[in-house]
Amino acid sequence: MPEGVVNGAYLVAATLFILGLRGLATVRGARRGNVFSSLGMLVAIVVTLLDRKIIGFELVAVGLGVGAALGAILAVRVHMTAMPQLVAAFNGFGGGASALVAGSAIASGTVMTAATELQAVAAGAVSGLVGALTFAGSAVAWGKLQEVLRWQPGNTSIQHGVNGVLAVVTLALFALVIVDVSLQWPFWALVVAAAILGVRLTLPIGGADMPVVIALLNSASGLAAAATGFVLSNNVLIIGGALVGASGFILTTLMSRAMNRSVLSVLFGTLGPTEGGPGDEIYEGRIKRTSPEETALLLHDARSVMIVPGYGMAVAQAQHAVRDLSAELERRGVEVKFAIHPVAGRMPGHMNVLLAEADVPYEQLFDLEQLVGAFAQTDVALVIGANDVVNPLAREDPTSPIYGMPILDVDKAHTVIVIKRSLSPGFAGIPNTLFAAPNTAMLFGDGEDAVRELIGELKVTG
Amino acid sequence: MEVFILALTVFLLAAFIGFEVITKVPPTLHTPLMSGANAISGISIVGAIIAAGAQQTPLAAALGLAALILATVNVVGGFLVTHRMLSMFRSRKK
């Protein structure tokens, strides 16, 4: 096939990727967008298969067959709660593939005969480094999210020192790959060093910071693909990789802003000030308990209800019960909205998917920006499994570790009901002044049981 | 050098388009965005097919095969799971 046709087809594929991502601007256009992106990928694959560079199809058929079967099984069987793990795994596969393609190009010597020798080798080294780091880091992230990997070493200065040395070794190997292009071993040493670094950087990161880590690895998998595009002088790899790199970067920024953390503090494990701020004494004598009966009466008389779900709700598998409660309230003419903080789930947008799975219409889901001022117009705010993201200390107490974090202003609602097992703190490890507020009542208990009881009481109320 | 500058130009323009397009994605769709973008990063499947099929050396072909399996899982699984998620988003019944 003439090169012009091949490159033209790659251009079509790249255009379809862009149109596909653009489709995600609205929920309506999103499914079509995903079809566009997949079509783009199909075009790229088919034209590559028809290209004359392919002489043996057996290996290609095996690779495509095995990969497609595995991918389909994983995609069909995954539970929506396990989506962060799956995306982490896929990030790692993408990064690993990019590193291996670069390795194959270096092993076969195609890079060395290219007219653009130095750039190609340098790009190959970048691809090997970023790809291996992404693969290893994603493997650790997967293990943590899947909870098969519970070990979390401390982030001491000795650890930082070791990582620093490792980073220097990695850079030295990187230089060696470029300086002597006839040697192959520095490339593989670089891949190994980068993989070790990936493991060591991800291991100390705690569960609460995983949304940032997944987004960052997402970005890295894109950059690895783009670097491989530089090795092969292939535009569709460069464009596809750049798009993913940009997407992951935006999500990383959004997530760290939502958590009031910088990317560096996530990676190097420095928390904000933990001293200062009130202790558990703020709860003394200020906690009001309520019962499902009382809460049902309150909801019965409300005109607007805001449900604020946190990850605790998903852990308790209470989203279906919550959907039933919402439907029951709407049947009575109550306006029900869901207030969703960016870090309500384990990855960006995770809570929205969990609620969509439970059949909550997407028009009922609102994000931080859409909710500015909304709580003041709300009769009852129902907090289920959320904690730090509704803590007024983030607004009021400059000494608090979460000060400055964007929160949902739940305390501004007329009445607040918090469904929670106990007064235990959230990830930030600090007490929540919302629980002690005069307009708050606590409904202690398991999320799903409490919501089911509420529905029962509502039906009795008639 | 010229080839490199050309490639860099393409990279930067694509990154800018990416920023423009992706800032318009609402938070509700951030998980499908991530899994869908993730599938796109499996575009290294193109390089993997060439590496596995060009049969330069046995080592290069073996690396190519491993790359191809990883990339195909990434592509097929990524698009499929994105489709599954997007099918769950339902509008309010009129």
Q: Which CATH number belongs to the domain containing residue A385 in this structure? A: 3.40.50.1220
> Looking at the partner chain, which of A70, A107, A347 has a beta carbon nearest the beta carbon of B73?
A70
- Print the domain residue range for A132: 78-267
Over residues A46-75, mean pLDDT: 91
pLDDT band at A117 (very low <50, low <70, confident <90, very high): confident
> Looking at the partner chain, which of B22, B38, B53 has a beta carbon nearest the beta carbon of A90?
B38
Distance of alpha carbon A84 from alpha carbon A99, whole angstroms: 23
Same domain, A171 and A117: yes
Q: Quote the crossing angle between the two packed helices A57-77 and B45-53, to the nearest 10°.
A: 150
Q: What is the pLDDT of residue A263?
A: 82
Other Cβ atoms within 10 Å of A375 Cβ, number: 21
Non-local CB neighbours of B77 within 8 Å, separated by 6+ positions? A70, A71, A72, A74, A75, A86, A90, B39
Domain count, chain A: 2
**Contact with chain A for residue B27, Cβ under 8 A:** yes
Same domain, A378 and A407: yes
pLDDT band at A462 (very low <50, low <70, confident <90, very high): low
Residue of A nearest to B91 (CA): A361
Q: What is the pLDDT of residue A426?
A: 81
Distance of alpha carbon A433 from alpha carbon A284, whole angstroms: 11
Q: What is the pLDDT of residue A273?
A: 45
Same domain, A250 and A297: no
In a domain, A217, yes or no: yes
Chain B residues in contact with A83 by the CB 8 A cut-off are: 31, 35, 81, 85
Please classify residue A185 by burial: count the beta carbons closer than 10 Å to its beta carbon, then call 0-12 exposed, 13-18 middle and 19+ buried: exposed
Quote the minimal CA–CA distance from A344 to chain B in Å.
Answer: 12
Over residues A41-56, mean pLDDT: 89
Distance of alpha carbon B17 from alpha carbon B22, whole angstroms: 8
Residue of B73, B80, B87 for testing the chain A interface, max A β-carbons within 10 Å: B73
Quote the minimal CA–CA distance from B33 to chain A in Å.
Answer: 7
pLDDT band at A278 (very low <50, low <70, confident <90, very high): low
Q: What is the pLDDT of residue A88?
A: 95
Q: Judge: A87–B49 Cβ closer than 8 Å, yes or no.
A: no
Over residues A139-153, mean pLDDT: 86
Same domain, A198 and A136: yes
> Looking at the partner chain, which of A18, A34, A224 has a beta carbon nearest the beta carbon of B79?
A34
Of A115 and A106, more confident: A106
Alpha helices by DSSP H, A146-234: 157-179, 185-202, 210-232
> Looking at the partner chain, which of A22, A24, A104 has a beta carbon nearest the beta carbon of B29?
A24
Q: What is the pLDDT of residue A284?
A: 80
pLDDT digits over A370-388, tens only? Answer: 998 899 999 999 999 888 8
Evaluate if residue A190 carries a pLDDT over 80: yes
Over residues A386-413, mean pLDDT: 90
Contact A343, A418 (CB under 8 A): no
From A144-158, A344-358, B75-89, the region with the lowest mean pLDDT: A144-158
DSSP symbol at A268: T
In a domain, A10, yes or no: no
Query: Phi and psi for A289 in degrees, rounded to 5?
Result: -90, 150
Counting residues of chain A whose pLDDT is more than 90, the rounded percentage is 60
In a domain, A326, yes or no: yes
Q: Judge: B85–A83 Cβ closer than 8 Å, yes or no.
A: yes
Same domain, A258 and A318: no
Q: What is the pLDDT of residue A378?
A: 94
DSSP symbol at B83: H
Mean pLDDT rounded to a whole number for chain A: 89
From A19-28, A154-163, A171-180, B70-79, the region with the lowest mean pLDDT: A154-163
Same domain, A114 and A257: yes
Evaluate if residue A450 carries a pLDDT over 60: yes
Evaluate if residue A272 carries a pLDDT over 60: no
Same domain, A320 and A252: no
Rg (CA), chain A: 26
Over residues A107-124, mean pLDDT: 71
Name residues 389-448 of chain A within 8 A of B (Cβ). none
Exposure of A196 in the CB half-sphere (CA atoms within 13 A): 15
Distance of alpha carbon A334 from alpha carbon A330, whole angstroms: 5
| Count of CB pairs separated by less than 8 Å, A with B | 402
Chain A residues in contact with B14 by the CB 8 A cut-off are: 14, 238-239, 242-243, 246
The structure's pTM equals 0.91
User: A136 is written with which tokens?
Assistant: 């290893």
Same domain, A240 and A209: yes
> Looking at the partner chain, which of B33, B81, B92 has a beta carbon nearest the beta carbon of A363?
B92
pLDDT band at A110 (very low <50, low <70, confident <90, very high): low
Same domain, A152 and A293: no
Residue in A280, A324, A379, A388 annotated catalytic: A388
Write the DSSP assignment of A114-144 as a string of letters. STTHHHHHHHHHHHHHHHHHHHHHHHHHHHH
In a domain, A12, yes or no: no
Evaluate if residue A420 carries a pLDDT over 50: yes
Contact B79, B39 (CB under 8 A): yes
The top-scoring range by mean pLDDT among A48-52, A119-123, A125-129, A268-272 is: A125-129
Q: Judge: B46–A350 Cβ closer than 8 Å, yes or no.
A: no
The domain boundary residue, chosen from A267, A297, A318: A267
Non-local CB neighbours of A278 within 8 Å, separated by 6+ positions? A393, A397, A431, A433
Over residues A4-8, mean pLDDT: 91
Over residues A206-228, mean pLDDT: 91
DSSP symbol at A92: H
Q: Judge: B43–A240 Cβ closer than 8 Å, yes or no.
A: yes
The domain boundary residue, chosen from A215, A239, A267: A267
Nearest to A409 by CA among A446, A439, A443, A364: A439
Secondary structure of residue A441 in the 3-state scheme: strand
Beta bridge partner(s), residue A418: A383, A442
The domain boundary residue, chosen from A232, A267, A302: A267
Over residues A89-106, mean pLDDT: 94
Nearest to A215 by CA among A255, A242, A243: A255
Evaluate if residue A116 carries a pLDDT over 60: no
Rg (CA), chain B: 18
Q: What is the pLDDT of residue A346?
A: 86
Same domain, A213 and A304: no
Q: What is the pLDDT of residue A249?
A: 95
From A42-56, A114-128, A158-172, the region with the lowest mean pLDDT: A114-128
Same domain, A286 and A263: no
Beta bridge partner(s), residue A336: A305
Q: A180 an active-site residue? A: no
In a domain, A53, yes or no: no
Contact A435, A316 (CB under 8 A): no
Residue of A nearest to B35 (CA): A87
- In order along its 94 residues, chain B shows pLDDT tens digits of 778 899 999 999 999 999 999 999 999 999 999 999 999 999 999 999 998 888 778 888 899 999 999 999 999 999 999 999 999 998 876 4
Same domain, A257 and A338: no
